Amino acid sequence: MVELNGCAPRPLHVQRDGTLEIGDTTTFSHYLRGGAVTEVKRPKTVSHEPLDTALFQPCIVAQSPQEVHRAHCLHQAFHALHKFQQLHGRPPKPWDPVDAEMVVDLAQALESLKGTEGEPLEEQLDKALVRTVALSSAGGLSPMAAVLGAVAAQEVLKAVSKKFMPLDQWLYFDALDCLPEDEEPFPNPEDYAPRDCRYDGQIAVFGAGFQEKLSHQHYLLVGAGAIGCELLKGFALVGLGAGGSGGVTVADMDHVERSNLSRQFLFRPQDVGRPKAEVAAEAAHRLNSDLKVTPLTYQLDLTTEHIYGDNFFSSVDGVAAALDSFQARRYVAARCTHYLKPLLEAGTKGTLGSACVFIPHVTEDYRAPASAAASEDASYPVCTVRHFPSTTEHTLQWARDEFEGLFHLSAETVNCHQQALTSLAHLDESQVLTVQQVVLGVLRERPQTWQDCVLWALGQWQLCFHYGITQLLSRFPPDKVLENGTLFWSGPKQCPRPLEFDASQDTHLLYVLAAANLYAQMHGLPGSRDQTALRQLLKLLPLPDPQDLAPIFASDLELASAYAEFGPEQSKQLHEALEIWTVGPPLEPLTFEKDNDFHVDFVAAAASLRAQNYGIPPADRSKTKRIVGRITPAIATTTAAVAGLVGLELYKVVGSPRPRSAFRHSYLNLAENYFSRWVPHAPAIQKFHHWKWTCWDRLEVPAGQPERTLESLLAHVQKLNGLRVRMLLHGKALLYSAGWSPEKQDQHLSRRVMDLVLEVTRQVPKPEQRVLVLELSYEGEKEDVTFPPLHYKL
């Protein structure tokens, strides 16, 4: 159906059986197999009302009629605030009831807003909403500036790039839920009066008492990447931990890389190579000299619980997580649940962002999305990547594996063989194949010049993109039919075609240039960036003879594996070649770095050529760098927005105890102008007989003086009404409250708890450990229930 090639974009529909409906194809030639469908986003022209019209006939971006009505009331409130400013030359005083009522009166006196068709809107003004806006309007909050500034910046980018849908036409965002619900309607205005300090805007909203409390908080920030930098900047601006015993601890094990500089704004070029936590701490201190920031360069996981242990978390008031993996988020969330600490969590992917808050005994605990968590560990079958790629990701994985094998693994293998002529028996198939490509390829001895490196790179090009493909097609011709009558090259298996080397094509040249430079670096030789000279050199070099190229070995069951025939003769041949290569200094194994141009160029060119082999749309260089460098897509606008949303929830967490209705989970898509905030779920209640508990509950038992015996510990679990309960430590049965024979009970009841712990675990609790966590479970005839943990205080 070649008529589809190069045709204009057309709408298509995916049917339930997975087939595509693309319209009338009766005049087209017969469809055989294969093909790739590429999504095309069509441009759309939008227009807006001028400002003078839109002021009284607003088009509101909102998700529900209730939100539209609230936005209309806020629109009128701002009209009234502007009118108040014109009349009095100042904004309303903070929490001044007289000024607030004047604003309400002005709002009521305004002309009614009109709908999109020009008809008056018969809506009841929410006077309480307008009054609240007026009372707090004199203040200014950096989290609000971050959210709205991010939206405004994204609109500028939309206008400049003509990408994504612009706002149509007004967006109202309020966080009045940050204000305490149980306060007096009009608190003492003196507490909200200016202090001639950097926090006056915040004091005007929340009061001086709240500001003092905020300054004494001690928070743990996990992650100093894109979101972490924005959060730390926000903490400095609001004064979190900037007084008394307060402070912020920043934990991140990574170092600053050059690619970080475009979206992690606490870092500068001179910081490249330094620990992120240290650089971020210094930058935050420059923003607010009163802020006490402690950097820690250890990651949070099971291996560092001696650092982030009981003593550490006992001094922490809350945790903010800015992590880029669900595995890390789950671990940090589990620590917060264990220590009953509030958790503020944020994440982004391009223009998508989310911010969540988890409060002990108030909200649900953190749960990673099952599909997203599973995708982190997704891998592609080796045979698919090596021989049957069908997606761009397959070609990138293949190119990344090529880099690892050719420039890292081969050097390590040669070095190990150099130190002691070891057997090849310890190498797996892919390692043997890689070593053969290096030592049994075009060059049978170490390169001595730049031209040798170019010759090797040219031979590698031929091996991967021409000779290897012809070998594959000789085994599986394009018309090969399986026993069931279907074509071998059908479905996800796309029939490849060999490429012919052409130095005038940029991708061909880039592959040879990058591969030759990496090969030279691995052998301690000088390289070259001169593409013109390389083109001239390639004209003089003959294409390698296929007989000089190492054979391609295949591992999947469909292919006759030459590796299976790797016997004594082949092993001897490879050993002899390795002995030649071991003469000289050790090779330099190269580790892939996403900020190294030659590293990225090699992978990008290799993946693009592989995509050409199989008719797969190639990835551009930026996409290649993002995927193979495992860079989480992050843009400054989204990170600023989610950091602002986290800052708004921080106000609620630090303030007086709040009901669940005050907190908000948030989700946004700046590209599509989608903004959603909702109240978190309550923690799920679990029941067993008469007992109820949630994920935040635990049984706490003090050790006692003298140390408890098993009998005294069991007395503390009698609330279970004599149910047959067993206690476990690290999954091992430790104590039984019932079910023992009388002899065994008599033997153990008088023993000390810690003696039993030592006997079962063969480990002595560390001196800094304050709690021993025991698991309780019920084993009945029909039920298997997991109870809250038992915290035995040491």
CB proximity list for 93: less than 8 A, separation 6 or greater: 99, 138, 189
Structure tokens at 390: 């069908």
The rounded distance, in Å, linking the Cα atoms of 207 and 188 is: 9
Q: How far apart are the first and last CA of the chain?
A: 75
Structure tokens at 304: 């560092």
Cis check for the bond before 185: say yes or no (omega within 30 of 0). Answer: no
Strand 686-688 and strand 771-779: the pairing is unpaired
Strand 784-786 and strand 771-779: the pairing is antiparallel
* Contact yes or no for 377/331 (Cβ under 8 A): no
**Backbone phi and psi for residue 737, each to the nearest 5 degrees, phi listed first:** -90, -15
Structure tokens at 142: 């950096």
Residue with tokens 């843009």: 635
The rounded distance, in Å, linking the Cα atoms of 508 and 603 is: 12
| Helix H or strand E encompassing 669 | strand 665-669
How many of the other CB atoms lie within 10 Å of CB of 614? 21
How many of the other CB atoms lie within 10 Å of CB of 231? 33
Sequential DSSP letters for 170-220: B-----GGGS-SSS-SS--GGGGS--SSTTHHHHHHH-HHHHHHHHT-EEE
The rounded distance, in Å, linking the Cα atoms of 550 and 563 is: 12
Strand partners, 773: 791
Q: Which residues are catalytic?
A: 383
The rounded distance, in Å, linking the Cα atoms of 572 and 97 is: 94
3-state secondary structure of 394: helix
The rounded distance, in Å, linking the Cα atoms of 495 and 616 is: 11
**Backbone phi and psi for residue 271, each to the nearest 5 degrees, phi listed first:** -90, -5
| Helix H or strand E encompassing 765 | none
| Helix H or strand E encompassing 567 | none
Burial class of residue 504 in the structure, from the number of CB atoms within 10 Å of its CB (0-12 exposed, 13-18 middle, 19+ buried): exposed
Q: In what order do the strands lie in the sheet with 665-669?
A: 293-296, 247-251, 218-222, 318-321, 343-349, 352-358, 665-669, 674-678
Strand partners, 729: 732
* Contact yes or no for 367/334 (Cβ under 8 A): no
For 291-312, letters b (16+ CB in 10 Å) and e give bbbebbeebbeeeeeeebbeeb
Q: What's the length of the chain? A: 794
The rounded distance, in Å, linking the Cα atoms of 581 and 579 is: 5
How many of the other CB atoms lie within 10 Å of CB of 401? 18
| Helix H or strand E encompassing 259 | none
Question: How wide is the angle at C-alpha 125 spanned by C-alphas 123 and 128, nearest 5°?
Answer: 150
| Helix H or strand E encompassing 20 | strand 20-21
The rounded distance, in Å, linking the Cα atoms of 770 and 684 is: 28
The rounded distance, in Å, linking the Cα atoms of 405 and 399 is: 10
The rounded distance, in Å, linking the Cα atoms of 106 and 91 is: 13
What are the helix (H) ranges across 666-768?
Answer: 710-715, 742-748, 753-761
Q: Which amino acid belongs to residue 32? A: L
